[in-house]
């Protein structure tokens, strides 16, 4: 074996932009193509927006203008503007920025001095403009390299900062901004900053009632009682209950949506149960107190510590470096404010207690069935291969960035192909046997009595809520034919019926797989639509070989690696503002004239498209 030389020539130093471009995951988490809310292009947008939000929080500028057109992102605020002599340094020198001065930026999301630099380095075009004191300073970059350094000029424009950037397609492959992710991001900013106005592509985002507005906008089922809205210094909560199963939380730290929760959300869950028990003087089970809860909590923390660079889970245990614990801070607030509210609003307290007692009855009714179901699940895990597990999981320290995935497939051939092609560290496979049951309108009893549902629930570890969820992404992987679509719909129904918080928290996806393979002797192109097929045929020229994939089982493991690797295409299952109950009744209830008319109308539209 030839010896590898290790000398001074092997040592090299990367400058700031080279390091960010070589290791983008260290700065913005995963890259992605824009199909999921935590993909890198949205992190870039957030890093810019967070600076503008910090200006608003400190009383500078009540409006932020945002536009995204053809992947060109523009953000304009009306804050104080970056000091003109430091504009270039602030976007191109690591560990440079105003947020190290705690007097200027007391409770900011971004304190690492990296944000705008990461956006700069990962953009093919990046421009910054700062207007203040009647002057403007501009600079332009490409992949972090300064290409235009304009002189300071006089300006009559309103003070503030404007950023324009285009994510680099060499870093973000085949990316596309999905408006639903951007809109949710902006609404969260609006809810957390009452009085702020964001204008996105001409549409206004504004909230006067904060987290109360957030819950009202996101409720997809009827509430048991009016939303409880409590505000204090550095903390705000909104609470209600519905008749859905599970628990649903929206948690934030310094304006950052902590999708994976963290110490503040854990403290809220614990404190809420304690206060309710003390108010009713009953030792209710925690699962009964929280069943059906829909709540939002936002806290402000000095120098927050997150468990990953993308800041989706709070790790801080104290409100201030030498202050009280987050646990006691949240508990003291709820003991004072929630207890007072319940005493002043006995009708709300009565409704809450009825909901708790309802959950208690349901839990006791299911006790015997649950025990048998767990035994079946334990036996099944030992004696069959429905679940081919992975090594890293979302609910422990082995998957801090939320990349673990469970593919739900139908049939041995499809599951076999995915199993052979998967990344065994992060990707697991669950194999269905035939079509699942239509669970619409059924009680949770069916989850334990139906073997497929019981084993799926056990594999996900979500019986008691999302705290134990083993996979960050639950991906429905079925054939792109009528039967596959039906199975997909039945699985979505199952999750919406019994685990709606899994869907609302953004964990459920549908896998896109190619419909066609177009190739010649030199190149192979996989196509996901008729349009992509036509483009591939034009690119490859005369008489390319075209294969139509009828099912996942026809795709070899070697080919599957392309579709579940870095270039994986996932469609998130997103719930709109329609009621979940209304949606399920329409699509999965007994046949109705309305649904028949809907099918006929949509078939006609597709027919028109073909004829055109």
pTM confidence score:
0.74
Owner of token pair 């349901």: 362
Query: Tell me: the pLDDT tens digits for 87-134?
Result: 898 888 875 544 444 444 455 555 444 688 999 999 999 999 999 999
Q: Which of 289, 293, 266 is nearest to 278 (CA)?
A: 289
The model's pLDDT over 551-577, given as tens digits with 9 standing for 90+, comes to 787 788 888 888 888 778 888 888 766
Instruction: Name the pLDDT band for 310 (thresholds 50, 70, 90).
Output: low
153 band by pLDDT with thresholds 50, 70 and 90 = very high
Q: Is the pLDDT of residue 316 over 70?
A: no
Residues 6+ apart with CB under 8 A from 164: 72, 73, 74, 75, 125, 126, 127
pLDDT above 60 for 604: no
- pLDDT tens for residues 396-443? 878 877 889 999 998 777 788 899 989 999 999 999 888 888 888 888
Average pLDDT over residues 164-178: 93
Helix axes 263-280, 346-383, angle to 10 degrees: 120
Separation CA 243–CA 221 (nearest Å) = 8
> What is the rounded average pLDDT of the residues 159-172?
95
Counting Cβ atoms within 10 Å, is residue 445 exposed (0-12), middle (13-18) or buried (19+)?
middle
Find the distance separating the first CA and the last CA of the chain, reported in whole Å: 65
Look at residue 500 and tell me whether its pLDDT is greater than 80: yes
Task: Give the pLDDT band of residue 64 (cuts 50, 70, 90).
Answer: very high
Q: What is the pLDDT of residue 607?
A: 37
pLDDT (average), residues 275-296? 94
pLDDT one-digit tens code per residue, 355-405:
999 999 988 888 778 777 777 766 666 456 688 999 999 888 788 778 899
Q: Which residues lie closer than 8 Å to 601 by C-beta, 6 or more apart? A: none
Q: Quote the distance between the C-alpha of residue 11 and its chain's center.
A: 39
pLDDT at 2 over 70: no
Q: What is the mean pLDDT of residues 582-602?
A: 68
Give the pLDDT of residue 611: 35
Assess whether pLDDT exceeds 60 at residue 159. yes
Please report the domains of the chain, with CATH numbers, ordered by start residue: 16-206 (3.30.565.10), 211-361 (3.30.230.10), 363-514+559-611 (3.40.50.670), 516-548 (no CATH)
Across the range 579-588, mean pLDDT stands at 67
* Share of residues in the chain with pLDDT > 90 (%): 42
Task: For residues 314-342, give the mean pLDDT.
Answer: 81
Give the E-state strand segments of 247-289 in sequence order.
Answer: 248-253, 256-257
Q: Strand 145-149 to strand 72-77: parallel, antiparallel, or no bridges (unpaired)?
A: unpaired
The confidence score (pLDDT) of residue 76 equals: 97
Does residue 245 register a pLDDT over 90? no
Highest mean pLDDT among 6-15, 316-325, 457-466: 457-466
Is residue 83 over pLDDT 70?
yes
Please provide the DSSP assignment of 39-61 as one string.
SHHHHHHHHHHHHHHHHHHTTS-
Place 186 in a pLDDT band, splitting at 50, 70 and 90.
very high
Average pLDDT along the chain:
84
Cα–Cα–Cα angle for 485, 452, 563, rounded to 5 degrees: 45
Candidate from 38-42, 389-393, 580-584 with smallest mean pLDDT: 580-584
84, 137 contact by CB (below 8 A): yes
Closest to 405 (Cα-Cα) out of 430, 426, 435, 375: 426
What residue has token string 């440079």? 96
> Is the pLDDT reported for residue 4 higher than 90?
no
User: Is the pLDDT reported for residue 468 higher than 80?
Assistant: yes
pLDDT at 275: 95
Per mean pLDDT, which range of 267-281, 477-491, 572-586 is the poorest? 572-586
pLDDT higher than 70, residue 497: yes
Residue-level pLDDT at 125: 96
């Amino acid at each position: 074996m030839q010896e590898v030389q290790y000398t001074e020539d092997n040592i090299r130093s990367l400058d700031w932009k080279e390091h960010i471009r070589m290791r983008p995951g260290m700065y913005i988490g995963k890259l992605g193509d824009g199909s999921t809310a935590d993909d890198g292009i949205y992190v870039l947008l957030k890093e810019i927006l967070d600076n503008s939000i910090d200006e608003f929080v400190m009383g500078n500028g009540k409006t932020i203008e945002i536009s995204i057109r053809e992947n060109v992102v523009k953000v304009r605020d009306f804050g104080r503007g970056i000091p003109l002599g430091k504009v270039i340094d602030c976007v191109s020198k690591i560990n440079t920025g105003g947020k190290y001065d705690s007097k200027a930026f007391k409770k900011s999301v971004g304190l690492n001095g990296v944000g705008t630099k990461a956006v700069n380095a990962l953009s093919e075009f990046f421009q910054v403009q700062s207007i203040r004191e009647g002057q403007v300073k501009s600079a332009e970059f490409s992949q972090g390299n300064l290409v235009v350094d304009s002189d300071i000029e006089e300006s009559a424009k309103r003070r503030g900062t404007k950023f324009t950037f285009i994510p680099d397609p060499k870093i973000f492959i085949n990316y596309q901004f999905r408006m639903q992710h951007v809109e949710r991001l902006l609404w969260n900013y609006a809810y957390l900053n009452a009085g702020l106005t964001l204008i996105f592509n001409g549409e206004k985002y504004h909230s006067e009632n904060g987290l109360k507005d957030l819950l009202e906008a996101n409720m997809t089922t009827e509430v048991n009682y009016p939303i409880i809205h409590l505000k204090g210094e550095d903390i705000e909560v909104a609470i209600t209950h519905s008749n859905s199963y599970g628990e649903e939380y929206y948690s934030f730290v310094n304006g950052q949506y902590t999708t994976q929760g963290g110490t503040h959300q854990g403290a809220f869950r614990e404190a809420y149960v304690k206060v309710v028990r003390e108010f009713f003087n009953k030792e209710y089970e925690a699962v009964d107190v929280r069943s059906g809860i829909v709540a939002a909590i936002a806290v402000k923390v000095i120098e927050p510590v997150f468990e990953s660079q993308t800041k989706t889970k709070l790790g801080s245990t104290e409100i201030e470096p030498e202050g009280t614990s987050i646990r006691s801070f949240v508990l003291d607030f709820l003991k004072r404010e929630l207890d007072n509210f319940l005493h002043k609003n006995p009708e709300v307290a009565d409704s809450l207690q009825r909901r708790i007692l309802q959950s208690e009855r349901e839990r006791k009714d299911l006790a015997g069935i649950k025990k048998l179901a767990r035994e079946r699940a334990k036996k099944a895990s030992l004696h069959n291969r429905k679940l081919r597990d992975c090594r890293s999981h979302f609910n422990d320290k082995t998957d801090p960035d939320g990349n673990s995935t469970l593919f739900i497939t139908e049939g041995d051939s499809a599951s076999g192909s995915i199993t052979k092609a998967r990344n065994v560290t992060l990707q697991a496979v669950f194999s269905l046997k035939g079509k699942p049951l239509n669970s619409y309108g059924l009680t949770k009893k069916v989850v334990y009595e139906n073997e497929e549902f019981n084993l799926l629930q056990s594999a996900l570890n979500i019986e008691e809520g999302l705290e134990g969820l083993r996979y960050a992404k639950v991906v429905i992987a079925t054939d792109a034919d009528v039967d596959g679509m039906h199975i997909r719909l039945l699985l979505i129904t199952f999750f919406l019926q019994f685990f709606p918080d899994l869907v609302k928290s953004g964990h459920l996806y549908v896998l896109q797989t190619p419909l066609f393979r177009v190739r010649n002797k030199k190149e192979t192109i996989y196509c996901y639509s008729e349009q992509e097929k036509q483009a591939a045929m034009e690119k490859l020229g005369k008489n390319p070989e075209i294969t139509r994939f009828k099912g996942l089982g026809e795709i070899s493991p070697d080919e599957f690696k392309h579709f579940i690797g870095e270039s994986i295409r996932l469609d998130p299952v997103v719930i709109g503002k329609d009621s979940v109950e209304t949606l399920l009744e329409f699509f999965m209830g007994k046949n109705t004239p309305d649904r028949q008319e809907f099918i006929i109308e949509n078939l006609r539209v597709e027919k028109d498209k073909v004829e055109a």
